[in-house]
Amino acid sequence: MEDSLSQQLRAAAAALLAALDEPESTRATHRFDDLRARRWIEYRPRPRPGVCLADLPRAARKATHRLLASALSPSAYAQAVTIIGLEEVLDRAEGWRRGRHSDDYWVAVFGDPIQDEAWGWRVEGHHLSISMTIVADQVSPAPVFFGANPAAVRWAGRPVTRPLGPEEDLGRALLDALSPQLRATALIAEAAPTDIISATRPRVDTPMTPLGVSADRLNPTGRALLDQLVALYLERLPPELANREARRLAGSPMHFAWAGPSWPGQRHYYRVQGDDLLIEYDNTADDGNHAHTVLRRPSSDFGADLLAAHHRVAH
């Protein structure tokens, strides 16, 4: 019988910690109740909690990748490693001035994955931030941030690499499927914002009123495309989590909003909101060739849902 996802994550995190020496382990591990370090999302090249893969031996770097892969679907893991590799492409495009490199990604473990009932981990770096919180045998999977710069590398107009292409294409297809009246409702601004609205805030505590067009106004084609778009983000997760989230959201009122021009190659933004669901996408920097995407659960990020349920039972 295959281990549950929580067991797989515990085993992968334990294997990572076993591959670290004492100084590396000291940098990688934090108390679970260190909220500043644990409730953290930073997709810019900034200092961050944890230990850098560049400072780890090959076995520990590989163990980090296995931990990351255990929390992502195969397609999402392929996106993640492509995003990591783009650091070298971006460094070349910038004339090697900033010293970007594909080992500049960091791993942090919060609590003890073997002994503690509640623990968590994060793998993060430029344009990547994956946080998982585990309480007993339950996994809370958010935030999950993927970005890409450049969003597309092309040869003769054909994409060589475009890791977030499905996210753009499905969002654009949904917009194109709207009638002129519904498109006017979905359009919330003529110009796209400069970044995703939730940004790097550890809590989406500023109410983000659902804007745009509601799902119940869409025709069957539009509703099918919206369902596909939500599924694309949920299926970044392993099937156990993606299916759970899909069941939770079944029947949830959904809204789709777009900002910016509708034609390709221009700066644009969209978001989808449902019950404790926030999906954001922007492609607004570098003349529309620098994308950010995030899957968040505003009331449940960083395991807030599981921890609240645990405390209710325990106390």
- Residues 81-128 have pLDDT tens digits of 999 999 999 999 999 999 999 999 999 999 999 999 999 999 999 999
**CA distance linking residue 5 with residue 138, whole number of Å:** 8
**CA distance linking residue 32 with residue 39, whole number of Å:** 10
Cβ burial of 104 (10 Å; 0-12, 13-18, 19+) is: middle
Torsion angles phi and psi, residue 50, rounded to 5: 115, -165
Q: Does residue 158 form part of some domain? A: no
- Residues 69-84 have pLDDT tens digits of 999 999 999 999 999 9
Domain extent for 239: 164-299
Q: For the whole model, what pTM was predicted?
A: 0.96
Q: What is the largest CA-CA distance in the chain?
A: 63
Same domain, 135 and 231: no
**CA distance linking residue 177 with residue 16, whole number of Å:** 46
* Location of structure tokens 């392929």: 78
Same domain, 133 and 197: no
The average pLDDT across 141-145 equals 97
* Location of structure tokens 């054909």: 158
* Count of domains for the chain: 2
Q: Does residue 151 form part of some domain? A: no
Q: What is the mean pLDDT of the chain?
A: 95
